[in-house]
Amino acid sequence: MTTTEKTEKTVEGVRVRNAHKSFGPHAVLKGIDLDLAPGTVTVVIGPSGSGKSTLLRTLNHLETLDLGYVSVAGELIGVREHNGRLHELSPRQVRRQRARIGFVAQSFNLFPNLTVAANVAEPLLAHKVAGWDAAYTKAYELLDRVGLKHRCTDYPRQLSGGQQQRVAIARALALEPDLLLFDEPTSALDPELVGEVLAVIKELARSGRTLVIVSHEIGFARDVADHVVFIDGGVVVEQGPPAQVLDHPQNARTREFLGKVR
């Protein structure tokens, strides 16, 4: 990326302001502020229970915030502003927003009753973006890009974990979102399958989309991330370029965490 692109903030990226979220008495996000530049890859790391998955889910309104807001490309997610206050959007409006954000979960969550191709075609059909034939054609293209076109008539259960995750990524790409969210995409995979998924994500990283990835693959983070965020106890402890956060962490907690994970 050229420096002019980075300093020109004509298109905003992901912005999180004062994010607070509690589940009952248990506070999970205790005031998070983030500015993630568009077209960059951000990897979020942190111990379990730190709130990173919850934070990720607030970016496409799968979780709602008690306080604070999230905006993507300048648009508030899940809420709108009126007279200085935030009001919830209608479910239909939220769904439309979610169509522009891709989400890949740890457990793939492919629809087992649909074939691989049908899974990828589903968002296109559901949002009436394409007719039956066009949707499937697009699905085959996407599957080809993740290298699984030859399995298109199989059912998810017949695929290995790595293959399923790649299909999940293809499905998340179907509506051509500008923002992609990954929640621990390789944590449920056998070690030898991790590589194929990371390869696909790496390729996406180079495509100019904004990626936010929650992961504990530190090596991957170093390879791919433009920005690393370390979250612990519901707050951002440290963030910055990977070279800094991962190799020369400033904060003691970061150091402690990295020491355990290496």
Partner 1 sequence: MSDDTKTDPDTKNEPETKNEPDKSEPDTTTEKPEIPPRRRTPLIVAAVAVVAVIAIVVAFLATRGSDDESATESGGDTTSVRIGEVAGNAAKPTTIDVPVVEAIRKKVPQEILDRGTLKIGQGALPAGFPPLAFVGTDNKTLTGTEPDLGRLIAAVLGLKPELNNATWENLFVGLDAGTSDVAISNVTDTEERKQKYDFASYRQDNLGFATVGASTWEFGGDYRTLDGLKVAVGSGTNQEKILLEWQAKLKAEGKKLDVKYFPDNAATWTALESGQIDAYFGPNPGIAYQIAGTGDTFRNAGTFSGAGASLQGLIAATTKKDSGLVEALADAINYLIENGQYATWLKTYGLSNEAVEKSEINPPGLPLENQ
Partner 2 sequence: MTTTATPAAIAADPPAPPQDPLATRKVAPRRRYGRWVVTAIVLALTVEAVRALAANPAYQWDRISYYFTLDVVLDALLVTLEVTAVSAVVGFVGGVILALGRMSGNPLVNALSWAYIWFFRSLPLVVLLIIIFNASLFFPRVGINIPFGPSLVSYDVDGLLVPFVAAVVGLSLNEAAFAAEIIRGGLLSVDHGQIEAANALGLSPWRRLRQVVLPQALRSIVPGYVNQLIGLVKASSLVYYVSLVDLFGIVYQLESTHVSDKVAILLVGTAWYLLLAAVLSVLQHYVERHYSRGWEVRR
Q: Which residues make up the interface to partner 2 (CB under 8 A)?
A: 60, 62, 91-92, 95-99, 101, 103, 105, 107, 109-115, 122-123, 126-127, 155-160, 168, 171-172, 175
Which residue in the set 153, 187, 207, 250 belongs to the binding site for partner 1 (CB under 8 A)?
153
Q: Give whichever of 173 and 224 is closer to partner 2, judged by the CB atom.
A: 173
115 binds partner 1 (CB under 8 A): yes
132 binds partner 1 (CB under 8 A): yes
DSSP for the chain? Answer: --HHHHH--SS--EEEEEEEEEETTEEEEEEEEEEE-TT-EEEEE--TTSSHHHHHHHHTTSS--SEEEEEETTEESSEEEETTEEEEPPHHHHHHHHTTEEEE-TT----TTS-HHHHHHHHHHHTTSS-HHHHHHHHHHHHHHTT-GGGTTS-GGGS-HHHHHHHHHHHHHTT--SEEEEESTTTTS-HHHHHHHHHHHHHHHTTT-EEEEE---HHHHHHH-SEEEEEETTEEEEEE-HIIIIIS--SHHHHHHHHHH-
Question: Closest approach of Cβ 35 to partner 1, in Å?
Answer: 39
67 binds, among partner 1, partner 2, none (CB under 5 to 8 A by kind): none
15 binds, among partner 2, partner 1, none (CB under 5 to 8 A by kind): none
137 binds, among partner 1, partner 2, none (CB under 5 to 8 A by kind): partner 1
158 binds partner 1 (CB under 8 A): yes
Q: Give whichever of 39 and 123 is closer to partner 2, judged by the CB atom.
A: 123
